[in-house]
């Protein structure tokens, strides 16, 4: 079966392509390379011994999306990653996020509804919950006003998909609400490769450790948490990628209970920013230079998942630890800087 992965050369997308190919799917990737590199294809191919199809395409251009689906009308499922994803940047440039994350989704869904097999996996986020009233966060948690334009695009995205499924009974979709993906493939053939200054914690940690960044900024040290820093549920990207395959197989096998489902993907454990730093220092043997800064607009205080729904219904659970993720991220950072 042919599966389309949009944003398939990005961080989570590339790891998901690997897991799809590992279980025998044929993959075609769309990516505009705005926050990724075409060299990622080589890493995927090295790991799986199979080269995915790739087309450079801007999903914001409706005519290009339509042309692609006209040429690939045998697609059995779409996994949609393509989106801008940094909370801080979205606060500063909201229109970029609304254009990129909403328009592209609409254009892909419009073409999906014309296919024979209308299976859709959406890359959603725990940011849809905002600052949850109770922890851990269950799927029944109230979806509150988003703390950032990025989070709002994920809320709106889910609403668009839900409405599409309601209007088109043969469209089947699963939204996967992930918490904080980190790490790299254990082979160090693929990993997180941000363009410019990293917007996420772990690549900033590894770039600081290797000497590219002078120091790491920790945004906020006075939160009502055990050490004053934000708490997040850090999930290894390989565990996360495997969940996408399981969710896709659920739709293809018509195992879904309704035509729009959603699941939290996390470890179920919250770690503070300082604990994440300590984990990195332990596995790498490197001391990090960091500094507590003012709070960053758009950040929630604490977020970690209640995962029993995904564990029980999807039959999926995480297997890798925070230390595993930090070790793999450090191995990846060292490899790409030694090229």
Output the pTM of the full model: 0.96
Q: Do residues 87 and 102 share a domain?
A: yes
The reported pLDDT for the residue numbered 198 is: 87
CB-based contact 175:298 (threshold 8 Å): no
Q: Is residue 192 part of a domain?
A: no
Q: Do residues 31 and 77 share a domain?
A: yes
Average pLDDT, the chain: 96
Domain-terminating residue out of 216, 249, 265: 265
Q: Is residue 109 part of a domain?
A: yes
233 closest CA partner among 203, 266, 201: 266
The reported pLDDT for the residue numbered 199 is: 83
For residue 335, with 0-12 CB atoms within 10 Å meaning exposed, 13-18 middle and 19 or more buried, which class applies? Answer: middle
pLDDT at 170 over 80: yes
Q: Do residues 205 and 286 share a domain?
A: yes
Range of the domain at 305: 201-231+268-337
Q: Is residue 194 part of a domain?
A: no
CB-based contact 225:301 (threshold 8 Å): yes
Q: Do residues 157 and 219 share a domain?
A: no
Q: Give the domain CATH number at 281.
A: 3.90.25.10
The reported pLDDT for the residue numbered 88 is: 83
Domain-terminating residue out of 210, 244, 265: 265
Q: Give the domain CATH number at 44.
A: 3.40.50.720
| Percent of residues, the chain, with pLDDT higher than 70 | 100
Token duo for residue 35: 């926050």
Q: Do residues 244 and 210 share a domain?
A: no
Q: What is the full DSSP assignment across 20-76?
A: HHHTT-EEEEEE--SSS-TTHHHHHHHHHS-PPEEEE--TT-HHHHHHHHHH-TTEE
**Which one of 150, 178, 204, 304 is the catalytic residue?**
150
Q: Do residues 31 and 92 share a domain?
A: yes
Q: Is residue 195 part of a domain?
A: no
Q: Is 178 a catalytic residue?
A: no
145-166, pLDDT tens digit by residue? 888 899 999 999 999 999 999 9
Q: Is residue 332 part of a domain?
A: yes
Q: Do residues 308 and 243 share a domain?
A: no
**Across residues 92-102, what is the average pLDDT?**
97
pLDDT at 238 over 90: yes
Q: Do residues 168 and 274 share a domain?
A: no
Q: Is residue 303 part of a domain?
A: yes
Domain-terminating residue out of 216, 245, 265: 265
Q: Do residues 106 and 157 share a domain?
A: yes
Q: Is residue 275 part of a domain?
A: yes
Q: Do residues 172 and 285 share a domain?
A: no
Task: Identify the band that residue 339 occupies on the pLDDT scale cut at 50, 70 and 90.
Answer: low
**Across residues 98-117, what is the average pLDDT?**
97
Task: Identify the band that residue 75 occupies on the pLDDT scale cut at 50, 70 and 90.
Answer: very high
Q: Do residues 156 and 20 share a domain?
A: yes
The reported pLDDT for the residue numbered 144 is: 86
CA-to-CA separations, 8 to 53, 113, 164, 266, in angstroms, rounded: 10, 21, 23, 21
| Strand locations in the chain (E) | 2-6, 26-31, 53-56, 75-80, 119-125, 172-178, 180-182, 216-219, 231-232, 234-236, 260-265, 271-272, 290-293, 302-303
Out of 88-97, 256-265, 296-305, give the one with best mean pLDDT: 256-265
The reported pLDDT for the residue numbered 152 is: 95
The reported pLDDT for the residue numbered 300 is: 87
| Percent of residues, the chain, with pLDDT higher than 90 | 90
179-197, pLDDT tens digit by residue? 999 999 999 999 998 888 8
pLDDT at 50 over 60: yes
Q: Is residue 54 part of a domain?
A: yes
Q: Do residues 145 and 223 share a domain?
A: no
**Across residues 73-78, what is the average pLDDT?**
97
195-214, pLDDT tens digit by residue? 888 888 999 999 999 999 99
Per the structure, the count of domains in the chain is 2
């Amino acid at each position: 079966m042919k599966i389309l992965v949009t944003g398939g050369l990005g961080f989570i997308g590339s790891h998901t392509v690997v897991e799809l190919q590992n279980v025998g799917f044929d993959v075609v990737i769309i990516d505009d390379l705005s926050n990724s590199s075409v060299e990622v294809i080589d890493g995927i191919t090295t790991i799986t011994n199979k080269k995915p199809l790739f087309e450079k395409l801007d999903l914001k251009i409706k005519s290009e999306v339509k042309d692609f689906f006209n040429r690939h009308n045998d697609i059995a499922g779409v996994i949609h990653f393509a989106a801008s994803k940094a909370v801080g940047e979205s606060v500063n440039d909201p229109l970029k996020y609304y254009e990129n994350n909403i328009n592209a989704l609409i254009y892909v869904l419009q073409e999906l509804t014309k296919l024979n097999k209308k299976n859709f996996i959406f890359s959603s986020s725990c940011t849809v919950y905002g600052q949850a009233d109770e922890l851990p966060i269950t799927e029944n948690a109230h979806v509150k006003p988003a703390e950032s334009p990025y989070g709002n695009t994920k809320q709106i995205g889910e609403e668009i998909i839900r409405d599409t499924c309601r209007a088109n009974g043969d469209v089947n979709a699963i939204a996967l609400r992930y918490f904080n993906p980190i790490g790299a493939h254990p082979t160090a053939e693929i990993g997180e490769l941000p363009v410019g200054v990293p917007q996420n914690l772990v690549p900033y940690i590894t770039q600081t450790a290797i000497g590219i960044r002078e120091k790491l900024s920790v945004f906020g040290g006075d939160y009502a948490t055990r050490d004053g820093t934000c708490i997040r549920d850090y999930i290894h990207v390989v565990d996360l990628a495997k969940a996408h395959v399981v969710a896709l197989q659920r739709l293809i096998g018509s195992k879904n209970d309704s035509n729009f489902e959603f699941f939290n993907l996390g470890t179920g454990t919250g770690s503070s920013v300082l604990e994440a730093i300590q984990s990195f220092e332990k596995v790498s043997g490197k001391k990090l230079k960091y500094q507590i800064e003012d709070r960053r607009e758009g950040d929630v205080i604490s977020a970690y998942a209640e995962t029993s729904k995904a564990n029980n219904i999807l039959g999926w659970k995480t297997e890798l630890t925070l230390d595993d993720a930090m070790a793999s991220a450090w191995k990846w950072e060292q490899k790409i800087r030694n090229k």
